[in-house]
Amino acid sequence: MSTSQQINDILVVSTIKFSYIVVDHTSEFHTSKDHRERGREMGKGGMSIGGGEGEEVNMAAWLLGVDNLKIQPFQLPPLGPHDVKIRMKAVGICGSDVHYLKYLRCADYIVKEPMVIGHECAGVIEAVGSEVNSLIVGDRVALEPGIGCWRCLHCKDGRYNLCPDMKFFATPPVHGSLANQVVHPADLCFKLPDNVSLEEGAMCEPLSVGIHACRRADVNSETNVLIMGAGPIGLVAMLAARAFGAPRILIVDMDSHRLSVAKTLGADEIIKVSTNIQDVGDEVLQIQKAMEAGIDVTLDCVGFSKTMSTALGATRSGGKVCLVGMGHGEVVAPLTAASAREVDILGIARYKNTWPLCLEFLRTGKIDVKPLITHRFGFSQNEVVEAFETSARGGDAIKVMFNL
């Protein structure tokens, strides 16, 4: 069977809908006392009217409605015995943050009341709980944003990223970290090596996605890797694959600028593709020819029908395709042909146990994330708005970073 015939043999991969809700762009959430109290009950603080006399008022970027971000007071929860209080110094903007701002939802997570945004972050310890011995005031740390229940079977099995009761920064209804200060479990705060900056520490979060995907796919020195998409996650996945020893990496995208960045960062081959599903067959042949060897692992960092079809068609028999990106909730792809060639399909759910390895790769220089940070902003009302507009536009923006 020809590649084109294989591509035409399609089945529905998933029937989970990912349609956006229709929202009045002038609407705002109701910020009544009831909402403020519910925010506190979530354990991540809530909207407050300010600190006591002589106290600093902790400020945060609140999502109040579609395209409506406001810097307002954010009351921290009490410092628990195993918690630390961190002054945020670097917070990156993720694609999910932009989705929440534009649509009030990302996948199945819907923003129903005011929420502090942000989850890619690093800062400096300002206070430690009574039982914390691993960190001291003044330590610079990168924060892992997800808190598992530590009781369910997934958590006990070490796969806490699958915890059904996960509390994750800026994932409704949990508040995020784009604030002056946050309180977080000490066990999820990782001390930065002396030669790793706070901005690099914040980049551990997106980098962890790439590292987890490479671990799931067992990328090593004998693994040729194809990456679909040269956005921030595709680029960190490429850096991770190289750090794991991949001898040859090819990355495809429809944007020439991002492909040039990928080439600068070390991609062996880059290919510009179209958005037309009819081009899949020809592009699969082009990709296979450019790789000059069998494609052992494909990391689909986009998540559309076309990228999934290309990934399955291009990957060698017995290879692996990792679903990293969350582009569409309903994807159509050539499963029958892929199954006949025993191409394994692996799901990727964020990450687990990745921060120590991220920091080691950064410390040794095996991975350099600094070139990915293209735009920097302070933490004023105007700069917050401008930063999110910059990230949403795309263009030459890869990672937009706040310096607080």
pLDDT single digits (tens) 122-166: 999 999 999 999 999 999 999 999 999 999 999 999 999 999 999
- The percent of residues above 90 in pLDDT, for the chain, comes to 83
Q: How many residues does the chain have?
A: 404
In a domain, 358, yes or no: no
Helical segments of 244-378, H only: 256-264, 280-291, 305-314, 335-340, 355-364
User: Is the pLDDT assigned to residue 72 strictly greater than 80?
Assistant: yes
- How many CB atoms lie under 10 A from the CB of residue 5? 11
Q: What is d(CA 234, CA 248) in angstroms, rounded to the nearest whole number?
A: 15
How would you label 342-360 residue by residue, b for 16+ Cβ within 10 Å and e otherwise? ebebeebebbbebbebbbe
Query: Among 264, 243, 343, 355, which residue's Cα sits nearest to residue 297?
Result: 343
Residue type, 121: C
- Report pLDDT for 24: 34
162 and 212 share one domain: no
* Mean per-residue pLDDT of the chain: 89
The H or E element spanning position 118 is none
Contact 401, 90 (CB under 8 A): yes
> pTM for this one?
0.87
Q: Do 243 and 189 fall within a single domain?
A: no
Residue 290 lies in a domain: yes
Looking up tokens 């479990």 gives 185
Residue 97 lies in a domain: yes
Q: Return the pLDDT at 331.
A: 86
Determine the pLDDT at residue 327.
Answer: 78
- Asked if residue 178 belongs to a domain, the reply is yes
Mean pLDDT, range 104-118, rounded to an integer: 93
Indicate if 9 and 103 belong to the same structural domain: no
Domain extent for 156: 33-203+369-403
225 and 334 inside one domain: yes
- Residue-level pLDDT at 119: 98
Lowest mean pLDDT among 28-32, 127-131, 245-249, 293-297: 28-32
Q: What is the reported pLDDT for 358?
A: 98
pLDDT of residue 52: 54
Torsion sign across C-alpha atoms 306, 16, 145, 297? negative
Q: Poorest-confidence range of 23-27, 236-240, 356-360?
A: 23-27
Report the CATH number that the domain containing residue 291 is assigned in CATH.
3.40.50.720
Confirm whether 138 is domain-assigned.
yes
